Structure 1
Amino acid sequence: MTVKPSLLWEYDLTNFDYQAMRLVVVQRVIERGWPDDFYAIFNLYGEDGVYQATKEIAYLNPIDMNFVHVVFGIHLEELKCYHNKDRPRHWKS
């Protein structure tokens, strides 16, 4: 079982390093994945690996932050994206 290639559409998956790109993969699955994609990342990175990656993601929208808080049991204050939520994004004016 692997993550759907459509979640990583802009990358060449023939030489894709899933370990080096762990944060991107976990973020895409949280934002757009289906249950099979969640099973795939837990198989690929393990429970602790997914939790640690989730804590390191720089940006998640408020709905996704609350999702990982409720489903994974990660406190909002442990999420890097929670502390970045009030910082202006470069595309906002």
Structure 2
Amino acid sequence: MYFDNHTNFPNATLNPRLLWEYNFEEVDFLKMRNIIIQRVVERGWPNDWYFILNTYGMEGVKSAILEIPYLNDKDMNFVSILFNIPLTSMKCYEKKQSQPQRWTS
């Protein structure tokens, strides 16, 4: 996996700009796990990835990814490949498939 060396970065921190609308000093990292992981998937740098992997563990990140309600196609495919998660088991994939497709002609 791309981030196998995350344990080499135990002091990695989360960029507060990812949670710009929250008071970062009052963020509960356990209650906001899914939001934090979604923001890192969408906009995070390697240091942010190291932070979530060190904080929540590989299985914690995987389970949060399964519950995230929306990801764009690029991010959805990236985490599917990175964590070996079938697209069909992701909530964001199911929601996308249930939306009616518009004609593009």
Aligned to 2:80: 69
Q: Which structure 2 segments of 5+ residues have no match?
A: 1-11, 101-105
Alpha-carbon offset, residue 3 of structure 1: 1.1
TM-score in terms of structure 2 length: 0.80
Letter in 2 for 1:28: R
What's the secondary structure of 1:39's corresponding residue? helix
RMSD: 1.0
Partners of 1:2 and 1:45 in 2: how far apart?
13
1:14-25 residue pairs with structure 2 within 5 A?
Answer: 14-25=25-36
Q: Which structure 1 segments of 5+ residues have no match?
A: 89-93
Q: Is 1:52 aligned to residue 63 of structure 2?
A: yes
Partners of 2:61 and 2:13 in 1: how far apart?
15
* Structure 1 runs of 4+ with >2 Å offset: none
Aligned to 1:34: 45
Q: Is 1:43 aligned to residue 48 of structure 2?
A: no
1:81 to 88, 92, 95: 92
TM-score in terms of structure 1 length: 0.90
Q: How many residues align?
A: 88
What's the secondary structure of 1:14's corresponding residue? helix
Aligned sequence identity (%):
51
Partners of 1:53 and 1:78 in 2: how far apart?
12
Partners of 1:3 and 1:55 in 2: how far apart?
21
